[in-house]
Amino acid sequence: MAEFTMELNDEQKEVRDWLHGFAADVIRPAAAEWDEREETPWPVIQEAAKVGIYSLDFYAQQYFDATGLGIPMAMEELFWGDAGIALSIVGTGLAAVGVLANGTEEQIGTWIPQMYGDPSDVKVAAFCSSEPDAGSDVASMRTRAVYDEAKDEWVINGTKTWATNGGIANVHVVVASVDPELGSKGHASFIVPPGTPGLTQGQKFKKHGIRASHTAEVVLDGVRVPGSCLLGGKEKLDERLARAREKARKGGERVKNAAMATFEASRPAVGAMAVGTARAAYEVALDYARTREQFGRPIIDNQGVAFQLADMRTQIDAARLLVWRASWMAVNGRPFEAAEGSMSKLFASETAKKVTARAIQILGGNGYTREYPVERMHRDAAIYTIFEGTSEIQRLVIARTISGVPVR
């Protein structure tokens, strides 16, 4: 087990500097264009693939970093560049985590490489969990998967929404209910292979922020997938469902579902994304305050501005430390006894919204225009308190964990 440290080792620093260079030289110059176009930045993803950032090998190296800091470090640097483009680059990772968290070794080896493709033909993947009537309320999921024993196939019907890369993905990971009576405990995750009949893209959303990232509905109409596409396999599913039914009968403890296993693993990473966006806005505001003169002196000479920057930097550093702690705990198998993963996502997300809003205030009228990037950063930051569990849901998770009671 790696000791907890706040100091990156030489290899991590080298990777961080490499990522920072890519973010500064490739992502940032393209940010405004793709935000306006509201399209997937395929050329930037391809550039990331060519240098090895958009690849299974790179993601695996960071995911299995013994210190736990590989993923949050990478997320912070890429999202420092631009949140929309960075999400297009790392969005496939959520589907990959879904397979890593729930799949067999064979499924991991088969499907994750197909999620990325190769530098000459890049692919993306989508994790599909939310529904029009079941976002935070995962127990209300209506997408159904029914097993056809005669053909050893699962038949999936339903509509997913808010899916990053939904409809344009090579591989879709779909969470569906296999036993509605068990609520969220009756969910399972399925791979929908490329070109599977019955899967289509529904509405593509025009969003407030992260506009370079494709977000859409995914419609599943009689989609049939082989039995081997059930993540974890049917034997494991049957055992889990049997335990859930028995515990439901006895009123026993809760059983984690497939979607929640994925979200728990990814929450600190989302926190790191928020830290990256917050840091970017803070740096713009700091540079502006040093150079912008009013009444014959730089505006940073005024306490009203300087104190805001002091608070911004303090909040960013505190958010990063919460993210790093949760990431270290996760990779070292330490249980989140106080919902530390949710804490990191909650604080970092709220920090990103506050810091980007303050950055606009420091830039004044300039900050409200698209001539300066803080306007875009503020729009982007709004998503962190919403996706992969709203701030209200994070507080609910934390409250339930520290109290031991089902707070409603």
Report the interhelical angle of 28-37 vs 83-90 (nearest 10°).
Answer: 90
Provide mean pLDDT across the span 1-9. 76
pTM of the model: 0.91
Q: Is the pLDDT of residue 256 over 70?
A: no
Number of residues written out for the chain: 408
Provide mean pLDDT across the span 8-28. 96
Residues 152, 161, 145: CA angle, nearest 5 degrees = 20
Nearest CA-CA partner of 236 in 80, 371, 107, 143: 107
DSSP 172: E
Q: Check if the beta carbon of residue 90 is closer than 8 Å to that of residue 78.
A: yes
pLDDT of 76 reads: 98
pLDDT of 251 reads: 64
Q: Is the pLDDT of residue 38 over 60?
A: yes
Q: Which of helix, strand or coil describes residue 199?
A: strand
Provide mean pLDDT across the span 224-229. 98
pLDDT tens for each residue of 130-160 = 999 876 666 679 999 999 999 999 999 999 9
pLDDT tens for each residue of 306-331 = 999 999 999 999 999 999 999 999 88
Provide mean pLDDT across the span 340-362. 97
Q: Is the pLDDT of residue 188 over 70?
A: yes
Q: Which of helix, strand or coil describes residue 126?
A: strand
Q: Is the pLDDT of residue 43 over 90?
A: yes
pLDDT of 56 reads: 87
Greatest mean pLDDT among 64-68, 121-125, 138-142, 181-185: 121-125
How far is residue 286's CA from residue 60's CA, in Å, rounded to a whole number? 35
pLDDT of 255 reads: 45
Q: Is the pLDDT of residue 342 over 50?
A: yes
Residue with tokens 């026993």: 252
Tell me the catalytic residues: 388
Q: Is the pLDDT of residue 174 over 60?
A: yes
Helix or strand holding residue 10 (H, E): helix 10-22
Q: Is the pLDDT of residue 254 over 70?
A: no
pLDDT tens for each residue of 352-396 = 999 999 999 999 999 999 999 999 999 999 999 998 889 999 999
Question: Mean pLDDT of all residues in the chain?
Answer: 93
Q: Is the pLDDT of residue 246 over 80?
A: yes
